[in-house]
A and B are shown apart, each in its own frame.
Chain A
Amino acid sequence: GQQVMQIPQYQHVQEGEDFTTYCNSSTTLSNIQWYKQRPGGHPVFLIQLVKSGEVKKQKRLTFQFGEAKKNSSLHITATQTTDVGTYFCAGRRDSSYKLIFGSGTRLLVRP
């Protein structure tokens, strides 16, 4: 079945440092989504990427979808303490298929 893996599992950075999490799917995806879950909270949608090679930016966050539509990355520039949380990617094999979440990357930021 479809599997979505994320690395690293944890990342502990000093405030101001950059952070990147990588997402890899065992199958080609129709699209990929990214969510953020704050400690004690529920996942909140960040963005969706659909096109091969697509790059989108949200302030300090940069999202990329691989050319083969099997991998994606989220890069945060100059992390802040408000960035703390777990970042999940989620992908569908096709538009009528279930949304499978990656294992998540937990980001901790030292002030």
Chain B
Amino acid sequence: EAGVTQSPTHLIKTRGQQVTLRCSPISGHTSVYWYQQALGLGLQFLLWYDEGEERNRGNFPPRFSGRQFPNYSSELNVNALELEDSALYLCASSVGLRTGELFFGEGSRLTVL
């Protein structure tokens, strides 16, 4: 069974540009989470989707947005990139709204120059 897949794995952007990161959850999982992990730091909660709806949003500016598609895959969009957006963006999926374990993808490493 395939795990959570994310693309791209690495990307380099310049300040002011826009980026779209993609995530495919494990088959049968309806919940998708996005976290930001700056180098050597913890996981900061970004967004949580379940069954196509946004369930919770973290303390990030509106230029961070996302969506979940009918097939439960998800996109994270970041507009007007800033240097401090450089981080590993991790996507995770879980079976449903109230179930526990999160399965993480390998992440998308974003560098903003």
Where the two chains meet, the residues of A that have a C-beta atom closer than 8 Å to any C-beta of B are 1, 31, 33, 35, 41-45, 48, 88, 90, 95-104
Instruction: Kindly identify, within residues 23 to 70 of chain B, every residue whose CB is under 8 Å from any CB belonging to chain A.
Output: 33, 35, 41-45, 48, 55-56, 58-59
Task: Name the residue of chain A whose CB is nearest to the CB of B104.
Answer: A42
Identify whether the interface residues of B are mostly helix, strand, loop, or mixed.
loop
Number of A-B pairs whose CB atoms are under 8 Å? 55
**How large, as a class, is the contact surface on chain B?**
20 to 34
Least CB distance from B41 to A in Å reads: 8
Q: Is the Cβ of B59 less than 8 Å from the Cβ of A97?
A: no
User: Would B103 and A99 count as touching, CB distance under 8 A?
Assistant: no
Question: Is B104 in contact with A44, judged by CB distance below 8 angstroms?
Answer: yes
B residues touching A (Cβ–Cβ < 8 Å)?
Answer: 33, 35, 41-45, 48, 55-56, 58-59, 90, 92, 97-98, 100-107
In the bound complex, how far is the Cα of B101 from the Cα of A100, in angstroms? 13
